[in-house]
A and B are shown apart, each in its own frame.
Chain A
Amino acid sequence: KQEVTQIPAALSVPEGENLVLNCSFTDSAIYNLQWFRQDPGKGLTSLLLIQSSQREQTSGRLNASLDKSSGRSTLYIAASQPGDSATYLCAVSPFDNDMRFGAGTRLTVKP
């Protein structure tokens, strides 16, 4: 059964710092991996979708990589801003039915 782990669980950085969030999964048989952000009490906002055949995706200050063989993905945030403060979740879509989410990394960017 697919397990998704995100490290660290919480991260606090000063504004302007570059940072990396990590996601690992146990089964490499996946359709894709997605990164989301969730603001308190709100729904999820999709940030990046990486198909299984891709190695990375970029959107603005965000870059996500995927290494299926090692079961890892990273989300790189450049020049962090206070508005980036949120919980970041990764989710994998395995070949069976059950889409699996990590527990998330709670990011705080201090002005």
Chain B
Amino acid sequence: KAGVTQTPRYLIKTRGQQVTLSCSPISGHRSVSWYQQTPGQGLQFLFEYFSETQRNKGNFPGRFSGRQFSNSRSEMNVSTLELGDSALYLCASSLVDRRGDTQYFGPGTRLTVL
């Protein structure tokens, strides 16, 4: 069974631009969560999607948004990029609920904002 895949793996953008990251969960998994990892703040929860609906959201500004498609694939968008958005963005999938089920993580997308 294929694992969680994320594209692209690396991305370089400049301040003010926007970016879209993609995540394909493990087949059969319906919950997709996104996390941001930085050296200063560590791992922080961004949001979780289930059945095309945002189920939970972390403490991030509205520039961070996402969506989930009917096949459970998910995209995350960051608008008006800031230098502080440079981070490793991780996607994780679980069967139904990230709180009750084991989460499986993708390799991440390394975003650098110049």
Residues of A within 8 A of B (CB): 31-32, 34, 36, 41-46, 49, 51, 89, 91, 93, 97-104
B53, chain A: closest CB distance, angstroms: 14
- CB pair A44–B105 under 8 Å, yes or no, is yes
Closest to A97 in B: B56
Q: Size range of the interface on B?
A: 20 to 34
A21, chain B: closest CB distance, angstroms: 16
What is the CA–CA distance of A44 and B94 in the complex, to the nearest angstrom?
A: 13
Neighbouring B residues of A41 by C-beta, 8 Å: 110
Closest to A30 in B: B99
Closest to A46 in B: B102
Q: A91-B43, A97-B56, A99-B33 are in contact. List 4 more A-B contacts (CB 8 A).
A: A42-B107, A44-B90, A46-B102, A49-B102
What is the CA–CA distance of A80 and B107 in the complex, to the nearest angstrom?
A: 25
Q: Does B45 contact A (CB under 8 A)?
A: yes
- CB pair B42–A43 under 8 Å, yes or no, is no
10 closest pairs, A vs B, by CB? A43-B105, A101-B43, A97-B56, A93-B99, A44-B105, A31-B99, A99-B45, A43-B107, A46-B102, A103-B42
What is the CA–CA distance of A32 and B97 in the complex, to the nearest angstrom?
A: 12
Taking CB atoms and an 8 Å cut-off, the chain B residues in 33-75 that contact chain A are 33, 42-45, 56-59
Neighbouring A residues of B43 by C-beta, 8 Å: 89, 91, 101
B20, chain A: closest CB distance, angstroms: 19
Q: Does B25 contact A (CB under 8 A)?
A: no
What is the CA–CA distance of A11 and B76 in the complex, to the nearest angstrom?
A: 35
A63, chain B: closest CB distance, angstroms: 17
